Amino acid sequence: MKCDKCGYSDNGTGDWAHACGPVAIQQKPVANTRIHELAEQATVYHNGGLGTEIESFDKEKFAQLIVQECASRLVDMDQQVKGQHNYYKHASIQVLLHFGIQP
């Protein structure tokens, strides 16, 4: 991580002690592989003729995939806390319905 004042980098050691003292540390952006997988699922390939392939990105499908993924995590949480009145499952259904997606 890197200090936003002086540029000091701990090179992944977690040692943030340096001349600036306690400061906010900037984290390197981490690519979320699941987001990339969902983006790939929302990418459509078409035959453009003459052996060419045209790629298009379906933004609506991508958004639906993200909402479904979030709702799925809520259902998973519900299964982890058995006997808790299915609160997360109900929340999952409400999230899907809010975005117009059939549960």
Block residue for tokens 């979320």: 32
Is residue 65 predicted with pLDDT exceeding 90?
A: yes
- The 10 Å Cβ neighbour count of residue 96 is 19
Share of the chain above pLDDT 90, in %: 22
The span from the CA of 18 to the CA of 65, in Å, is 43
- Dig out the tokens for 25 from the structure: 């540390």
User: Alpha carbon of 51 to those of 43, 47, 89: distances in Å?
Assistant: 19, 7, 47
Is residue 83 predicted with pLDDT exceeding 80?
A: no
* CA-based R_g, the chain, Å: 22
The pLDDT assigned to 62 comes to 93
pLDDT bracket for residue 80 (50, 70, 90): confident
Continuous segment of H or E residues that includes residue 40: helix 33-41
Greater confidence, 50 or 27? 50
Greater confidence, 39 or 21? 39
The pLDDT assigned to 46 comes to 78
